[in-house]
C-alpha cells in the first residue's frame, strides 16, 4: 500500500478523481481507495488498501484525516500540494510529522502554495502549465466531432524520482482526460503522482 496525501482547496477533489480515472484507464494491476472525513469510511478504505496488492490509498488532507493518519502511524509516501489552503484547520507541523523522506508534488500554477518547512530527505517535483515545471504540457486538444474527451500532450522535462528509487526519464506522451474534466493542472498533478508512485502507464 502506498499512502498519498492531497492538500489544496480548489483542485483536491478533481485531482483525486483524475488519479482514479488514470489508474482505471492506464495503470496495470493497480487499484485506488479513498479516505474521507468520516472515520468509519476512512478505516474501511484503509483496511481494503492494506489488504490489496498494488493499492494506492488517497487521503484528502483535512484536520480529521490528519488525525486519523497519526492514530494509525500512517505517513505519506507522496504528498501533493495543489495550492490555496485558506481556512485550513491544521498546522504545517501537523503535516510535517506525516511527511518524512517523501516525494513532494507541487502545483506551480498557484503562487499561494506555502513553502513547506519539512524535514530533510524530501524530494520535490513541480508540475503545471508553467513552462518551468518538471511535468508540464506541450499541447491541449479540445474534443472534436463525436469525441467527448480532451487530450493533452504531457511533457516530462527533467528526471522524475520514484518511491522505489527509480528514475523516470524526460519524454512526451499523450493522455485522454476524463470526460468533463477541464482541470489541466489537476490532470498534470495526477499523472506526476502516478509516475512517482511507479505506476506503469499502459498503451495510450
Residue-wise pLDDT for 102-117, tens only, equals 898 988 887 666 555 5
Among residues 110, 82, 125, 80, which one has the least CA distance to residue 98?
A: 80
The tens digit of pLDDT for each residue in 149-185 reads: 788 899 999 999 999 999 999 999 988 887 777 678 8
Look at 48 and 82; give whichever has higher pLDDT.
Answer: 48
- pLDDT (mean) for 41-58: 96
Helices and strands, counts by H and E, the chain:
5, 11
Examine the pLDDT at 5 and tell me if it is beyond 90: yes
119-127 mean pLDDT = 79
Grid cell of 169 as nine digits: 526519464
Task: Look at residue 204 in the predicted model and tell me its pLDDT.
Answer: 45
This prediction has a pTM of 0.89
Q: How confident is the model at residue 123 (pLDDT cuts 50, 70, 90)?
A: confident
Higher-scoring residue by pLDDT: 130, 110 = 130
* Domain 2-128+181-196, architecture per CATH: 3-Layer(aba) Sandwich (3.40)
- Give the distance from CA 134 to its chain's centroid: 14
Q: How far is residue 151's CA from residue 104's CA, in Å, rounded to a whole number?
A: 26
For the record, the C-alpha cell of 204 comes out as: 495510450
Cβ 23 vs Cβ 30: under 8 Å: yes
Amino acid at each position: 500500500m502506498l499512502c498519498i496525501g492531497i492538500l489544496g482547496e480548489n483542485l483536491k477533489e478533481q485531482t483525486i478523481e483524475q488519479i482514479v480515472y488514470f489508474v482505471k484507464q492506464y495503470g496495470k494491476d493497480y487499484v485506488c481507495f479513498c479516505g474521507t472525513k468520516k472515520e468509519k469510511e476512512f478505516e474501511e478504505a484503509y483496511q481494503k488498501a492494506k489488504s490489496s496488492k498494488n493499492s494506492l490509498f488517497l487521503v484528502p488532507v483535512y484536520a480529521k484525516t490528519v488525525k486519523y493518519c497519526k492514530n494509525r502511524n500512517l505517513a505519506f509516501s507522496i504528498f501533493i500540494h495543489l495550492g490555496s489552503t485558506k481556512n485550513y484547520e491544521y498546522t504545517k507541523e501537523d503535516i510535517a510529522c506525516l511527511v518524512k523522506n517523501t516525494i513532494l508534488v507541487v502545483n506551480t500554477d498557484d503562487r499561494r502554495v506555502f513553502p513547506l518547512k519539512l524535514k530533510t530527505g524530501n524530494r520535490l517535483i513541480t508540475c503545471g502549465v508553467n513552462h518551468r515545471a518538471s511535468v508540464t504540457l506541450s499541447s491541449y486538444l479540445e474534443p472534436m466531432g463525436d469525441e467527448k474527451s480532451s487530450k493533452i500532450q504531457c511533457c516530462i522535462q527533467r528526471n522524475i524520482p520514484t518511491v522505489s528509487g527509480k528514475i523516470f526519464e524526460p519524454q512526451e506522451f499523450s493522455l485522454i482526460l476524463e470526460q468533463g474534466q477541464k482541470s489541466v493542472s489537476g490532470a498534470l498533478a495526477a499523472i506526476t503522482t502516478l509516475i512517482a508512485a511507479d505506476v506503469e502507464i499502459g498503451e495510450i
